Amino acid sequence: MTPQDFITKWGPGGPAFHLNEEQGAQSHFIDLCDLLGVPKPGSEDGYVFEKQTLVLGEARGYADVFRRGAFAWENKAPGKNLDSALKQLLNYSSALSNPPILVVCDRLQIRVQTQFTGHPTEKFNVLLAELAQPEKLALLRRIWLDPESFRPKITSRDITEVAAKSFATLAGQMRKAGHDAQKVSHFLTQCLFCFFAEDVGLLPDRMFDALLNNRKRTPEALTDGISSLFQVMQRGGAYGNDDIPWFNGGLFKTIDVPKLDIMNVSELRSAAALNWSAIDVSIFGTLFERGLDPAKRSQLGAHYTDPATIQRIIEPVLQRPLLQIWELLAPELIGLLAKSKRKYDANYKLAYAKFTDWLDQLKNYRVLDPACGSGNFLFLGLKALKDIEHQSHLAAEAMGLDREVDLVTGPHNMLGIELNEYAAELARVTVWIGEIQWRLSKGYEFKLNPVLEPLDNIECRDALLTFVPNVAGDGESAGRAAGQRPAAHTLRFLKSPPASAPLTDQLVNSSSNLGSDPSLKDAGSDPNLRVLRTKAVEAAWPKASIVIGNPPFLGGSKKRRELGDAYFEALDTVFAKRVPGGADLVCYWFDKARKAIETNGLGAAGLVATQSIRSGSNRVVLDAIRNNTRIFDAWSDEPWVNDGAAVRVSLVSFGWGECCYLNGERVEQINAELGSSVNSDMSLAKPLAENAGISFEGTKKYGDFDVTGELARSWLRQPNPHGKSNADVVKPWRNGQDLTRRPSDTWVIDFGAHMPETDACLYEAPFSHLVRRVKPERMKVRRERTKRLWWIHEEARVALRQALTGLPRFIATPRVAKHRFFVFLDATVLPDTRLNVITKADDLTFGILSSRMHEAWSLANASMHGVGNDPTYNAKSCFETFPFPSNGLKVRGSAEAIAKAAKHLNDLRENWLNPPEWTDRIPEVTPLGMASSPYPDRIIAKPGHEKDLLERTLTKLYNQRPAWLDAAHKQLDAAVAQAYGWADYTADMPDEEILKRLLALNLERAA
């Protein structure tokens, strides 16, 4: 068939033009296949006329033609509405396996629309008369022969990233011009929604684009024009010759357009040219928050979390349980409808009532993200919920039930709590845009009047604490009534505090007596300040069906510094009996979710956690979760992005879900350490009394206390007014990298834990250094003690110093390292906080710690840290729980055997690290006034071997694990196994068996 034959036959006046839709659909398609020279339906599997879904085997067709993995095609008679035909295809697309190309045709034209996942939609139109053009025929042939060629070159993520960068530029310009950051953010959020609204057709005739590109308008006139448009969007109505829907929703409640300049207008015009309908909502909020929030501007080009990873929480917590309910209901509906003799009889009505009950359940379902950020979890939760409802509508229609007019799920199902106002507003916009995009992608009409549902259910507030006025006499009674100890604090407010001000900026810890009336008081001469006596109580969460989210990570040691004294102490008081003060901040969200499951009807929670949640004081929270509910799904070690940085996390789903999946595999149980073994459940291990007071973290400086070896040696030769040596306060220093790599020859100024400033200043040179380099920064910190004792290390570790007294050396290991090894350090060395110190000097302890038994135990109890996913050695979980061989050891002579093997291992390692052929040992400096040097010899490279020595590190040694090292460790392991009395031990014994035996020993000792 030639193009002209086809045009003549199917065009106006042609012999086939009069055929109705049913008569002409298949013959028109077959003729088109002949014209194009492409396969006809039936020529291959998955290429058929009148495609029907295979899910429930219903008779109704969802597309006139379907080719699996390529296209769905709907034919209409001339003059029929092709827009409606396309919406029909979109609506049933999921039942057709989501083909990437949709085609609608009324014989006079063929419309092609792409829907490749993660790419913007593109449209093509071929008129009947254009079939004589070779390029148009070639385009249509590609639908059959090369559907992949229709995939757009740009992705939705590309568009989103470009849009975010453009808005970041705008935000930077406007803040630089002196506009308030929050005002700028709100205005730009309104603009980005306008760009999206006009690209999807909610604003007619590209109205916003035309407003921006009117070259006759001055920036001042454009500012007024945008304000006028926003005002009409706020209420709906006429704008020029067009009618604008009522948008509502809170986004346009406040209209305060900053005065624009020519640079702002130019950037807005560039942004308007983007395809905003294709914004990737799964990353949208994150990227725009980074661009609009000055505090996160530096993260703009950083990574963001793959939505597929978030799905590992959405699927078990939201999708899996709801789909299980539907899968039980669907056969029941089919059975009732099979009994129905006619529509609307008793069985039909009963089936319809049951389906309506299901829809009511979905309508009332609530998803809470109590740390929602800019809304990516909420969007993915909304999408999952709407997908489930949509699929159930298709299935119910296929069974014979009347199709509902619209969906019952929507933004109202999503609840959020977020402290950052930038993020909270973007979360609302993310949900709105996600809702509109989803409706478009499935062929549903826009919801109008209003377009945007109010989203007051995404709240801007603190998710953990609420500070309420503490009226005289009510603090204790209120606290007792709530089952809490009230935490009384002084709040310092601006009389009209900006909602964006973090709560920690508003809190000021105060021990002053506010007098008998703790109500409002003036704050000195500043008319803008007031002081209010308050108490902290636990913040309430709204009632929800499930909780999902990514709460903030903040290690126990950093919480006080980052949150401030007042907030830290309030948190510690309110949650005193539930969350240890040293736990990571994320643990409070886990604990509140557990409490809501037990007392407030919450079904399940799925939260992201730092991997350290499995160990130390953090695990108290997971233990409570496991004891009172169930961990039913977990991913123990996953890559994640936290504030733009790549980290490793655990994904934990708990509540009453069906048990159990760990790292994607079915298991019988999930333990608190996120393992599955019944016999080696490390969550059962207890601290042992005999191990207390031995293992410590090194000192934490908080300031520039460290100096080069060259400078330190010069100070050691200098006199002081009181005649004492600087050796008292200047010491060799080691951190984790000094152990995993080569020693850096760094020394540290250390005035101990209690030296008064009047005594410290007598050590002239070290003290003057701290005055210049440490004091200015310490004066800026919130923690009062850190500021007041600015010359003392923030955590001076008094107990560590006492335990080291009198020892000639001690054992140390990096807290975070790829390999778990231990080394001896000289007693003159001050260990850094990145080291864990075991205050023992003997080879026996060193040998047991260096054995495979302790390595397996420490790894099983470790959290994982950083991009390298390296294990963290923790004193409480790794050392204090470890059952050393019993007193006197099991087998006579085993102590000597372990000590001998340990010394042999250490000597071999030292000789490899510092071979005599490549190194010289130089006596260390003798401080002024001393007869000899108290320090060990300094090791330096012989000329020509500097680079050789740089390659000799313990990390590289254990990466290579040469035969001699492996043999030395196996000799040590055998001696330690003998001490335990394990006569059956071999090098092939599985770690799980070792852990099983050690756990049994731990529980026996603890009892």
Q: Cα–Cα distance between 705 and 770 in angstroms, integer?
A: 7
Specify the 3-state DSSP secondary structure of 210: helix
Residue 489's pLDDT is 36
- Cα-to-chain-centroid distance, residue 464: 18
Task: Tell me phi and psi for residue 966, to 5 degrees.
Answer: -60, -40
- Three-class HEC string of 590-620: HHHHHHHHHHCCCCEEEEEEEHHHHCHHHHH
How many other C-beta atoms lie within 10 A of the C-beta of residue 364?
A: 11
For the chain, which residues score pLDDT lower than 70? 51-61, 298-303, 470-533, 556-557, 644, 677-680, 863-869, 887-892
Residue carrying structure tokens 């549903």:
444
Q: Cα–Cα distance between 771 and 781 in angstroms, integer?
A: 16
Q: Cα–Cα distance between 818 and 955 in angstroms, integer?
A: 8
How many other C-beta atoms lie within 10 A of the C-beta of residue 403?
A: 10
The strand pair at 830-831 and 870-872 is best described as unpaired
The answer to whether residues 847 and 811 touch, using CB atoms and an 8 Å cutoff, is no
pTM of the model: 0.74
| DSSP label of 3 | H
Residue 506's pLDDT is 38
Residue 677's pLDDT is 63
Q: Cα–Cα distance between 221 and 216 in angstroms, integer?
A: 9
State whether the Cα torsion 311-316-320-325 is positive or negative: negative
Q: Cα–Cα distance between 457 and 502 in angstroms, integer?
A: 20
Spell out where 154-215 has E strands: none
Crossing angle of helices 181-199 and 421-441, rounded to 10°: 0
Contacts of 232 (CB under 8 A, 6+ apart): 238, 239, 244
How many other C-beta atoms lie within 10 A of the C-beta of residue 821?
A: 20
pLDDT digits (tens, 9 = 90+) for 124-153: 999 999 999 999 999 999 999 999 999 999
Residue 865's pLDDT is 58
- Cα-to-chain-centroid distance, residue 98: 29
Q: Which two tokens stand for residue 281?
A: 């909502």
Residue 522's pLDDT is 38
First to last CA, the chain: 90
Residue 21's pLDDT is 87
Burial of 945 from C-beta contacts in 10 A (0-12 / 13-18 / 19+): middle
State whether the Cα torsion 254-259-263-265 is positive or negative: positive
Residue 499's pLDDT is 37
Residue 849's pLDDT is 97
Assess whether the previous peptide bond of 194 is cis (omega < 30° from 0): no
Looking at 678-780, list the stretches that DSSP marks H as alpha helix, in order from N- to C-terminal side: 709-716, 736-740, 757-760, 764-773, 775-778
Q: Cα–Cα distance between 144 and 32 in angstroms, integer?
A: 12
Residue 519's pLDDT is 35
